[in-house]
A = this chain, B = another copy of it.
Amino acid sequence: MSDFRADGHAAVDWAADYLERVRELPVLAQVERGDIRARLPTSPPDRPEPFSAVLRDLDEVLLPGMTHWQHPRFFAYIANTGSPPGILAELLAATLNSVGFLWRTAPASTELEAVTLDWLAQLLGLPSGWHGHIEDTASTSTLAALAAARHVRPDARFVVCSEHTHSSIDKAAALLGLELRKTPADDSFRLRVDELDLTEAAAVVATVGTTSTGSVDPVAAIAERACAEGVWLHVDAAYAGAAMVCPELRWAFEGVEHADSLVVNAHKWLLTPMDCSCLWSRRGDDLRATHSLVPEYLRTPEDAASLADYGPALGRRFRSLKLWAVLRCYGRDGLQAMIREHLRLAELFEGWVRDEPGWTLEAPRPFSIVCFRREGSDDENEALLARANATGELFISHTKLNGRYVLRLAIGNAGTTEDDVRRAWEVLRECAR
């Protein structure tokens, strides 16, 4: 074990150094497809190599091919943060290496998962008593929830959602053999309830914080319709759910208490490293009836607590440890402070765009995603994005709204400062000249 200790200290120093210098690296990897592969041996070694060789090649071979999600000027997709307590908890979880498919195979992991999901439910203002567990991604959480919806209404053929719902809903529906029916959105990219048709629907999906713009579907009105027609309501709050730690933002969760299931990704805006998707359901028994398939060789007296019975995967690693570490090391105050700062920065950037001739805002901004555009064609905006990202100084992504190419700046990294956002704006304006 002396090697493990020495190698471990070297790995921690590497990690600490990386987090200190990541700001100096190009955000978006400046490599071509195949560059990294070409620098790696085509065959594995016969003889063991020391861990120091892995650390060396991580620096020399892999790092130039990394897009740095931990960079404070990562503004693409949904920016995230692997925070120090979360990172170190992953080391501990891998050290314990428990596999929590039954209560008895990992009692502490299983019970901590229930406790941390209860804690997070309290922080987000959710009703008490919901069953909570962790899946890897929102794709899987949604699959688990929609499978339960199909289970309770086996003759229904449709999943209904808005045209701005995330692609993971399409994927889950396709796996389950359900058809997806997309409801039009209003001018603010929210599902139009007057266009909602729940005929033969197994489920309806409402989004709190769409990927493109952060728009919020009218959950209360959708819930009313879903309840009246006996349709499962799944709420996708993968991104913006985290913001509900701030009471002043809870308008976005109005009606969520009527949801049958709800997903919030702690690995997005809640400081937890990939992957940690939190799924709650007020119908835990239905979730369990859908996914439980206990063969003889796994049968134990404590089955009811076994979390593998609530989703598609049997093997489950100790994901609750990192969420627990994050909730403790930041506390309610720390989480609120980060969300509020990100909203302040997004509002600042939004103001700069609004005030600058030749630039326009393209969507309302409920949270930390700003959608904007430079005057000119779609192609010109696409070229502008490519030029800006090629500087390595920032990384932003795009979407299409009303058929037009739109730039997106998404704030979500805990290291992002006002100077970072200002620098992004400078680079964008320079690249537009």
Query: Residues of A with Cβ closer than 8 Å to B?
Result: 1, 3-5, 7-9, 11-16, 18-20, 28-29, 31, 33-37, 40, 42-51, 53-54, 58, 61-70, 76-77, 80-82, 84-99, 103-109, 111-112, 114-115, 118-120, 122-123, 136-140, 143, 147, 166-168, 170-172, 174-177, 211-212, 265, 267, 273-275, 277, 291, 293-298, 302, 305, 312-318, 321-322, 324-325, 327-334, 397-400, 408
Decide: A94 and B92 in contact? CB cutoff 8 A. no
A309–B107 CA distance with the chains assembled, in angstroms: 35
**Assuming the A-B contacts A106-B67, A112-B62, are A48 and B333 also in contact, with contact meaning beta carbons closer than 8 angstroms in the complex?**
yes
In the complex, which residues of chain B have a beta carbon less than 8 angstroms from the beta carbon of A277?
Answer: 315
- Which secondary structure dominates where chain A touches chain B? helix
Closest to A144 in B: B175
Decide: B147 and A317 in contact? CB cutoff 8 A. no
**Assuming the A-B contacts A15-B4, A48-B333, are A143 and B312 also in contact, with contact meaning beta carbons closer than 8 angstroms in the complex?**
yes
Decide: B329 and A54 in contact? CB cutoff 8 A. yes
When the two chains form the complex, which single residue of B9, B84, B170, B331 contacts A293, counting CB atoms closer than 8 Å?
Answer: B170
- A377 CB to nearest chain B CB (Å): 16
In the complex, which residues of chain B have a beta carbon less than 8 angstroms from the beta carbon of A28?
Answer: 104
In the complex, which residues of chain B have a beta carbon less than 8 angstroms from the beta carbon of A330?
Answer: 48
**Assuming the A-B contacts A4-B84, A33-B305, A44-B332, are A137 and B314 also in contact, with contact meaning beta carbons closer than 8 angstroms in the complex?**
yes
13 pairs, A vs B, C-beta closer than 8 Å: A33-B305, A43-B119, A44-B328, A54-B85, A54-B89, A67-B106, A69-B96, A82-B95, A94-B273, A94-B322, A97-B274, A172-B312, A177-B177
A58–B174 CA distance with the chains assembled, in angstroms: 41
In the complex, which residues of chain B have a beta carbon less than 8 angstroms from the beta carbon of A12?
Answer: 5, 8-9, 11-12, 91
Decide: B111 and A53 in contact? CB cutoff 8 A. no
Nearest 4 A-B pairs (CB), nearest first?
A: A82-B97, A65-B108, A8-B12, A90-B94
Decide: A11 and B328 in contact? CB cutoff 8 A. no
- A49 CB to nearest chain B CB (Å): 5
In the complex, which residues of chain B have a beta carbon less than 8 angstroms from the beta carbon of A103?
Answer: 33
**Assuming the A-B contacts A171-B314, A314-B137, A314-B171, are A333 and B46 also in contact, with contact meaning beta carbons closer than 8 angstroms in the complex?**
yes
Beyond A12-B12, A58-B321, A277-B315, list 19 extra A-B contacts (CB 8 Å): A4-B15, A4-B87, A9-B12, A31-B107, A44-B119, A44-B122, A44-B327, A44-B332, A46-B333, A65-B108, A81-B97, A87-B97, A91-B94, A94-B322, A97-B273, A137-B313, A140-B313, A176-B177, A275-B317
A398–B104 CA distance with the chains assembled, in angstroms: 14
- Most chain B CB within a 10 A radius of its CB, from A35, A90, A267, A408: A90
- Most chain B CB within a 10 A radius of its CB, from A35, A54, A118: A54
Decide: A11 and B81 in contact? CB cutoff 8 A. no
A33–B28 CA distance with the chains assembled, in angstroms: 47
Decide: B112 and A97 in contact? CB cutoff 8 A. no
Decide: A9 and B11 in contact? CB cutoff 8 A. no
- A391 CB to nearest chain B CB (Å): 15
Closest to A119 in B: B44
Decide: B88 and A11 in contact? CB cutoff 8 A. yes
**Assuming the A-B contacts A115-B37, A138-B315, A317-B275, are A49 and B95 also in contact, with contact meaning beta carbons closer than 8 angstroms in the complex?**
no
Decide: B111 and A37 in contact? CB cutoff 8 A. yes
- A339 CB to nearest chain B CB (Å): 15
When the two chains form the complex, which single residue of B58, B95, B334 contacts A18, counting CB atoms closer than 8 Å?
Answer: B95
- A48 CB to nearest chain B CB (Å): 4
A112–B120 CA distance with the chains assembled, in angstroms: 35
In the complex, which residues of chain B have a beta carbon less than 8 angstroms from the beta carbon of A82?
Answer: 94-97
Closest to A141 in B: B313
In the complex, which residues of chain B have a beta carbon less than 8 angstroms from the beta carbon of A98?
Answer: 66-69, 274
Decide: A293 and B174 in contact? CB cutoff 8 A. yes
A248–B407 CA distance with the chains assembled, in angstroms: 57
In the complex, which residues of chain B have a beta carbon less than 8 angstroms from the beta carbon of A96?
Answer: 18, 66, 68-70, 82
In the complex, which residues of chain B have a beta carbon less than 8 angstroms from the beta carbon of A122?
Answer: 43-44
Decide: A5 and B1 in contact? CB cutoff 8 A. no
Closest to A332 in B: B46
**Assuming the A-B contacts A48-B329, A137-B314, are A95 and B107 also in contact, with contact meaning beta carbons closer than 8 angstroms in the complex?**
no
